[in-house]
Amino acid sequence: MKAFLLLTVLLSGVLAITAAAEAVEPAQAPLELQEENQVAEIEVGVAAPEEEEPEQFGEKTVSNKGRFYACPTGWVRYKSSCYLYVSAGRSWSSAAAYCNSLGATLASVHDVFDYSFLQDLTSRTGSTVAWMGGFYFQGWRWMDQSTFNYNFWSTQHTVSRYQCVHVNTRAGWSNNNCAIAWPSICMTRSC
């Protein structure tokens, strides 16, 4: 079985190299032109990109295709996602439902830069806390189903009473009572 897998990998590599070499070779002019030393003129045109139907998202029509994706009005682009700070105080579950109604989830965090962005987004409004998408159910999870692979706990309370995660602009995140009415941060992937 190992020999078969190794042979498959080697064959794939050879095919990839062969295809790359064929793509690099310049196209030869027809034989008649080579013999007569004539120069053939080639007309080069640029095709206009085809218009795609934009998707409806929130209050603004946007297209999620291409490199220059724009977030809807009021949302902030960071990496390949759009974020919305929601200042209205809601319980964690109500905040999650509100984000869901916008086609988004509560925000997830996967490195120190993501968390710094959420802290900055929260502090720009004058607030010090906001719900994000972390919750405890047989282990810590994110609402968007991404891996809970980064931890930046400031304080971690008992999960029997405090099962929802919030941003703390002055430190790492904390878990607290899900019924508290706090602002929240919604996130949607743009690519």
Whose structure tokens read 């743009």? 190
Q: Is the dihedral of CA 115, 157, 183, 64 positive or negative?
A: positive
Q: What is the CATH number of domain 71-189?
A: 3.10.100.10
Taking only the tens place, the pLDDT of each residue in 51-77 is 344 444 444 444 444 456 789 999 999
Domain extents in the chain: 71-189
pLDDT at 116: 96
Q: Residue 176, class by beta-carbon neighbours within 10 Å (0-12 exposed, 13-18 middle, 19+ buried)?
A: buried
Written as tens digits, the pLDDT of the chain (191 aa) is: 454 444 454 445 444 444 444 444 444 444 444 444 443 333 333 333 443 444 444 444 444 444 567 899 999 999 989 999 999 999 999 999 999 999 999 999 999 999 999 999 999 999 999 999 999 999 999 999 999 999 899 988 898 899 999 999 999 999 999 999 999 999 998 75
Q: pTM of the prediction?
A: 0.64
CB 174 within 8 A of CB 165: yes
Helix, strand, or coil (residue 121): helix
Q: Is the dihedral of CA 177, 180, 184, 189 positive or negative?
A: positive
